[in-house]
Amino acid sequence: MNRRDFLKFSGASLVLWPSASALATTAVVKPKKLVFVMLRGALDSLHTIIPVNDKALHQHRPKLAAVAEKKALSLNTQFALHPSLQTLHRWYRQKTMLPIVAVGSGYDARSHFDGQDFLESGLNKIDHDTGWLGRAIDIQRKSGLAVSQTTPIAFRSAKDVNTWYPTNLKSADEDIYNDLINLYQNDPKLLTKLQEGMETKALVGSKNDKKKNQDKFVSLARSCGQLLNTKGGPDCAMLELGGWDTHNNQANRLTRKLAELDNGLNALESALKETWNDTVVVIATEFGRTVRENGTGGTDHGTASCMFVAGGAVKGGKVLGEWPGLAPEQLFENRDLQPTSSAFSWMSALLSEHWQMSPDQLAKVFPGNSPYPARLLKSYAILN
């Protein structure tokens, strides 16, 4: 059985079945907001949700593991959060955040571009003309907002979606780099050189440049929350944050990137105000990274990663997903974290609870990926 088939059928092994009282819970009729945060570049989950109780971690990562565990924020006896994730940890303690470990989309290669397109499309094969968010809001007759200059794949085919991006936040350099990345997709050598150059530029950039970049995501997240909180505003939104391709100097780079993400999420919550109580935020990435650290203090393209589900509507405070272990015989292809659950099935479960989508509707959004029978939200109704 290949990994995609494994993810498709693995839901039956999860143990988060709703209780009889949960099935009887009725949903309060309020505007239900959804925010999808796409982390582009493949987030290293082992440096983010740290498996502190897995003895093999230090064998694979003698340098990175020690750095990540220093001042880590405890979740339970098995896992801890990176110390930069203060907001996410606060939400966890407030029981409004669920970390999910060992998640995959079913994508079976290691290309950033294809992996991102696969995750946004939400299908068993990439379709650049339709995305899972677009299909969901069309079925529900809802509206969407992409905080982007162009419509991302996740929203394509939607009838009621708009894009918004402040012109003062995007530099000409960024436009040029994005155009070159697209141009070099089919030339691995040129693409590698370009990425190395961009990484070097990021490393030697001034403190003002780094501060400006961190402030940019905070500003975008705050504006996103304000637009969602406007009377008659969109029902869902998508935010994007790049820079997670940490082939080298991972410890320092992830300290900055995770702080940037965390500060943006804090700004989003503040801007949503009371609407936060009826909001779900999904944070995901295209795939994970190798279990073993490389010779330049980084990690390479892998398979399973993690995702987060957060928001005032979330029934949080526990770590979800089945941990596969890091012993050599437990790794995928002797190099990667083994995926044990599907991002699509988790998101399908959220749509079922948050927007009360029926099984037939969910099959159109995530075909072949049934929702997990997990209670993720505080209040919901089950539709037959």
Cα–Cα distance for residue pair 59/291, rounded to 1 Å = 10
Q: Establish if 191 belongs to a structural domain.
A: no
Cα separations in angstroms, 377 against 133, 238, 355: 19, 20, 11
Calculate mean pLDDT across residues 264-279: 98
Q: Establish if 106 belongs to a structural domain.
A: yes
Residue with tokens 């819970």: 25
Q: Establish if 375 belongs to a structural domain.
A: no
pLDDT of residue 19: 43
Per-residue pLDDT band for 24 (boundaries 50, 70, 90) equals very low
Per-residue pLDDT band for 127 (boundaries 50, 70, 90) equals very high
pLDDT of residue 374: 87
Cα–Cα distance for residue pair 288/47, rounded to 1 Å = 11
Q: Establish if 295 belongs to a structural domain.
A: yes
pLDDT of residue 6: 44
> β-strand 97-104 against 341-342: which pairing, if any?
parallel
Report which of residues 184 and 218 the model is more confident about.
218
pLDDT of residue 383: 45
Per-residue pLDDT band for 379 (boundaries 50, 70, 90) equals confident
Which residues does 151 contact at the CB level (< 8 Å), separation at least 6? 161, 163
pLDDT of residue 45: 98
Report which of residues 373 and 214 the model is more confident about.
373
Mean pLDDT (the chain) is 88
**Complete DSSP assignment for 181-216:** HHHTTT-HHHHHHHHHHHHHHHHH--HHHHHHHHHH
Q: Establish if 47 belongs to a structural domain.
A: yes
Tell whether the model's pLDDT for residue 133 goes beyond 60: yes
Q: Establish if 179 belongs to a structural domain.
A: no
Calculate mean pLDDT across residues 18-37: 64
Tell whether the model's pLDDT for residue 335 goes beyond 90: yes
For the chain, what is the domain count?
1
Calculate mean pLDDT across residues 240-261: 97
Query: Which residues lie across from 236 on neighbouring strands?
Result: 34, 144
pLDDT single digits (tens) 204-239: 444 544 555 668 999 999 999 999 999 999 999 999
Helix then strand count (H, E) for the chain reads: 13, 11
Calculate mean pLDDT across residues 125-137: 97
Specify the CATH number for the domain of residue 42.
3.40.720.10
pLDDT of residue 202: 52
pLDDT of residue 3: 53
Cα–Cα distance for residue pair 233/226, rounded to 1 Å = 9
Q: Establish if 77 belongs to a structural domain.
A: yes
Q: 3-state DSSP call for residue 239?
A: strand
Domain that holds residue 329: 3-174+211-365
Cα–Cα distance for residue pair 227/229, rounded to 1 Å = 5
pLDDT single digits (tens) 274-296: 999 999 999 999 999 999 999 99
pLDDT of residue 11: 44
Q: Is the pTM of this model over 0.95?
A: no
Tell whether the model's pLDDT for residue 107 goes beyond 60: yes
Q: Which two tokens stand for residue 281?
A: 């935020």
pLDDT single digits (tens) 150-174: 999 999 999 999 999 987 655 445 5
Cα–Cα distance for residue pair 118/287, rounded to 1 Å = 10
Per-residue pLDDT band for 361 (boundaries 50, 70, 90) equals very high
Q: Establish if 380 belongs to a structural domain.
A: no
Q: 3-state DSSP call for residue 173?
A: helix
Of 8-12, 36-40, 190-194, highest mean pLDDT: 36-40
Calculate mean pLDDT across residues 317-329: 98
Which residues does 241 contact at the CB level (< 8 Å), separation at least 6? 37, 38, 39, 40, 217, 257, 260, 261, 264
Tell whether the model's pLDDT for residue 110 goes beyond 60: yes
Tell whether the model's pLDDT for residue 28 goes beyond 50: no
